[in-house]
Structure 1
Amino acid sequence: MPQSTTIQQALYMPFSRDSWAQLRNAVPLTLTENDLAELRGINEKVSLSEVTDIYLPLSRLLNLIVKAKQQRGVVLNQFLGQQEANRTYIISIAGSVAVGKSTTARILQALLSHWPEHPRVDLITTDGFLYPLEVLKRKGLLQRKGFPESYDMKLLVDFVSAIKSGVAEVQAPLYSHITYDRLAETVSVRQPNILILEGLNVLQTELDSPVSIKRPFVSDFVDFSIYVDAEEKWLKEWYVDRFLQFRSSAFADPHSYFHHFAKLQDDEATKMASHVWDTINGPNLRTNIQPTRERAHLILKKGAHHAMEQVLLRK
């Protein structure tokens, strides 16, 4: 039996899709088909039934957890004789390239914002904290983009630390998938009730770094963590399919960093995407991302066609 399977059996309560769906407990569906169409990522086929079966029970669980945290804060403030502070609850979403983290994050943001206890839910992706393209080139990291060393971790940790400290307004850098670079513009985050932080490496701890590095990690500030999981054979297939579709969408933009890929024939594009997976995304998954999976509070397991098949909830 694989070690990861043994660890999961020890740490998590497994739920089939049907058994997890029963935990919805009549939570109403607040999204329409049109809403969902705007939230889906390219090459993903998330249905309203999946929102009902998987995401509504998850939004109910998170609402209960956040509400309990808020109540604990009230009690603590009463005990200390302090005024109620604005405390942001941070949810992180990790997983591989092409697994659908962004879609999961957008759906959860839409659902959680309908709960009256926490109407302000912001979403930030860690892409904006990648080093600028010029810096990556200078450091020789362009072929390791997405690996931990390609991120400005001090900037990212300072950001989540400020959010957790209750700073009134914090700036987050933005990223363009067209120019493949960090933008000069930033977005203001103003004490949301919940912040969803989505990225490849948000579950990493000091265990993933050299012994000589002693510093805070993003995971130190996260209240609840989710890992979106799938077998690598599906991840590679989804990545290649997405790459093929990008030729007529993102790559077709003349300003796109990858515009030269737009005219590739199917076999050429498939070969290129497979090479990128085999040399960059696959090694990053196996070395840096997948080893952090069992640190998550909840694992969403996908099968073929991006369909959610199982939920693992930490005991």
Structure 2
Amino acid sequence: MAIAGARPQTNTPYAPASSAELHLQVQARLVELVPADNSLLSISAREALLGPGKRVRPLLAMMAAGHVGGAAEDALDYGCAIEMVHAASLVLDDLPCMDDAALRRGQPTLHRRRGEDAAVLAAVALLNQSTRVILQTPLHIEDRLAAIDLLTHAVGFEGLAQGQMRDLRDAPGDRDAAGLRQINDLKTGALFIAAVQGGARLGGGDEADIARLTAFGEAIGFAFQLCDDLLDAYSTVEALGKDVGQDDEATFVDLWGEGRVRAAVRQSLTRAGDAVGHDSALNQYVLALFRHADLGV
């Protein structure tokens, strides 16, 4: 059943905007959604959120809305809220108590530019703002509550926070293929799944649509984490604009080797295409991202 008040399904073919057009919409909206004053907190939050980025998660949310027959704009603010969570998670992930990263997107990490205190508080502010953005959207109350439920589920005890804790603290013996997959599903997959599930719901999708998009989100979440493992092992700081060789603990590259990991990326992308259609705008967008990463897909 679709969420009350969501856009009804129609027989009108969906003519998707290009990913470049959606990216411009997201970037412009993000600028509107963060304070523009000159306080250190606002400056730090803007730097964390508005720097160069592909905006993959908000684009997926908007494309998911279009995929089920709605308009991409139905999920614009929800996608921006997802991006705020993602940006906050990167700030926290870079801290000395976690990855102690020096670079992010070609620039010094936020805690190195502005201090650890400013970085932590900017991350908290962005997490708070993500919820506030959804609460202030002109959606029916049922839609807002459902969107907040998806977002907070992806962040907390069954999402990003738990995945990061396990990535930092799981014993070496627990980092077998099953353990690493669980960490991936929590730390990376949860936000992809929330993006496409929320987009589908806000676009008026039914339960079958949401189930297909959930399978898509699970598959691409795994593929993205495998890609990240490969790039961390084999790419360079100059190519990525961030630190490499950060994974001190075992990854799938360590367990399986490069060839098998690349094969697993291809298999995951095939499953994603099976879920939503290999010729769909959603699937073609994701394939283009992986081709750009030169992973042989």
Q: Which has the higher strand share?
A: 1
Higher radius of gyration, 1 or 2: 1
TM-score normalized by the length of structure 1: 0.32
Q: Which has the higher helix share?
A: 2
Higher relative contact order (CA 8 A, sep 6+): 1
TM-score normalized by the length of structure 2: 0.34
